[in-house]
Amino acid sequence: MGTLPPPRMARHVRVRDPDSGEDLDDGLALWFPGPRSVTGEDVGELHLHGSRAVIAAVMAALGRLGLRLAEPGEFTRRAFHNGKLDLTQAEAVADLAAAETEAQRRQALRQLDGRLGELYRGWSDRLLRLLAHFEAAIDFPDEDLPPEIENRVAADTADLAGEIARHLADGHRGERLRDGIAVAIVGPPNAGKSSLLNQLARREAAITSPIAGTTRDVIEVVIDLAGYPVVLADTAGLRDSADLIEQEGLRRARARAESAELRLFVFDAGRPEDAAGAVAWPGPDTLVVANKIDVAPNRAGVPPGALALSALTGEGIPDLIQTLAARIAGTYDIAAPLLTRARHREALENAADALRRSLAADFPELRAEDLRLAWRSLGRITGRVDVEDLLDVIFRDFCLGK
């Protein structure tokens, strides 16, 4: 029987079967007594050679001691229950484990640092203070809220509703960074759209051919574009067509172009008149790309502001990647914590609605009830809904009439 290593110090150990005494592996053992551990409980770690045979032998021996494998998410769940993490941080653990690009990793780490939770808790605390005024007025009905307090509560409620609304109106950036930023490739047939998709994906994801009308459906690939997760969509070439299948393809192409965050309008530099098709999607979110520059080397057909490249030779592709990455960085590289999940969005929308209702309500009881609903919605995001909080604040922060 070995002894415990000193707390938080790695010790070189022989791992032995407690019954037979047989050596099972050679490794490291660490001991983290609670509460200074990842879950807040006592945690022991064994660092082993991870082969199936070693794991099977050690697991069997631990099983005989009454230990079992953790369920999925069990460590994080225990950490949450023991107050080591709030729910947004627990979600960030899952995001960090699933992150595929630098931008996703950074976003998840920022959330794990607790900044998103802090923002929501800050709002929640402000609501509690507002609520405390009403609770007192309701508990002591003879004493009306002084009008200046009532005005301040209304102004603060409106401020908070405004802040939450601004946080919600973020263009879904945090969620998009988790799921991938939508970029659509559109343009006339045969311009080289599918060839460009293949270049950016670095594989032959889409069929290309000299026949106009090769691509009929939307073809999606997920790529890591300079650290950003991008869902790149190739679409059918835009032209008038009597073919029913092609018409459906065109409908899908246009719909995808509309919903995408950024568009690459690709045309053949040898057919400069085609560049005009880009006017269907005016604005800075459409990058105009003159393709096949390898066979139009004097660049006469490249309008100002367009990127010239060859999807065949790869010339100009690094510039396109850089331009796209800079565009994406301008939108997504911000220090403020972003909303990352539909769950948070829904709770925040409920909170904002409740605050607006509270402002419109006639009686203090109703105003208070809506504030309470808003507070509960916010509390659900971080997982810290607890009426004890409310009672504590009422008796600590509020002193009626004094």
| Binding region for Mg ion (CB under 5 A) | 193-194, 214-215
List the interface residues with ligand GTP, window 219-248 (CB under 6 A): 236-237
The least distance separating ligand GTP from the CB of residue 263, rounded to whole angstroms, comes to 14
Q: Other CB atoms closer than 10 Å to residue 147's CB: what's the count? A: 8
Looking at the Cβ atoms of 151 and 313, the one nearer to ligand GTP is 313
Nearer to ligand GTP, 82 or 214 (CB): 214
Which range binds ligand GTP by CB under 6 A, 12-20, 308-316, 333-341, 342-350?
Answer: 308-316
**273: which 2 tokens?**
């008149």
3-state secondary structure of 45: strand
Among 101, 195, 286, 358, binds ligand GTP (CB under 6 A): 195
- Rounded to an integer, what distance in angstroms lies between the CA atom of residue 53 and that of residue 388? 50
- 259 makes contact with ligand GTP (CB under 6 A): no
Spatial neighbors of 318 by CB under 8 A, at least 6 apart, are: none
Beta bridge partners of 31: 44
Q: Considering only the stretches 36-44, 69-77, 192-200, 297-305, report the one whose residues sit in contact with ligand GTP under the rule CB under 6 A.
A: 192-200
Residue 271 or 357 with smaller CB distance to ligand GTP: 271
Running DSSP on this structure, what letter comes out for residue 260?
-
Give yes or no for residue 190 binding ligand GTP (CB under 6 A). yes
CB of 198 to ligand GTP, least distance (A): 8
H or E segment at 155? Answer: helix 147-168
Residue 389, amino acid: D
Contact 327, 181 (CB under 8 A): no
User: Any contact of residue 176 with ligand GTP (CB under 6 A)?
Assistant: no
CB-wise, 291 or 358, nearer to Mg ion?
Answer: 291
Task: Report the distance separating Cα 341 and Cα 382, nearest Å.
Answer: 12
**Sign of the dihedral defined by the CA atoms of residues 90, 92, 95, 97, in that order:** negative
Question: Using the 8-state DSSP alphabet, how is residue 305 labeled?
Answer: T
Enter the tokens of residue 156.
Answer: 């603060």
Residue selected from 59, 60, 155, 212 as contacting ligand GTP according to rule CB under 6 A:
212
Choose from ligand GTP, Mg ion, none: what does 294 bind? Cβ within 5-8 Å by kind. Answer: ligand GTP
Q: Closest CB to Mg ion among 76 and 194?
A: 194
Candidate residues 13, 54, 156, 213; the one interacting with ligand GTP per rule CB under 6 A: 213
Intra-chain end-to-end CA distance of the chain, in Å:
66
**CA contacts within 13 A on the Cβ side of 347:** 20
Find the binder of ligand GTP among 84, 176, 178, 193 (CB under 6 A). Answer: 193
Are the C-beta atoms of residues 225 and 240 closer than 8 Å to each other?
no
- 208 forms part of the interface with ligand GTP (CB under 6 A): yes
> Two tokens at 100?
């595929």
Residue 364 interacts with which of ligand GTP, Mg ion, none, CB < 5 to 8 Å by class: none
Q: How many residues bind ligand GTP (CB under 6 A)?
A: 23
Binding site for ligand GTP (CB under 6 A): 189-195, 208-210, 212-215, 236-237, 291-292, 294-295, 310-312
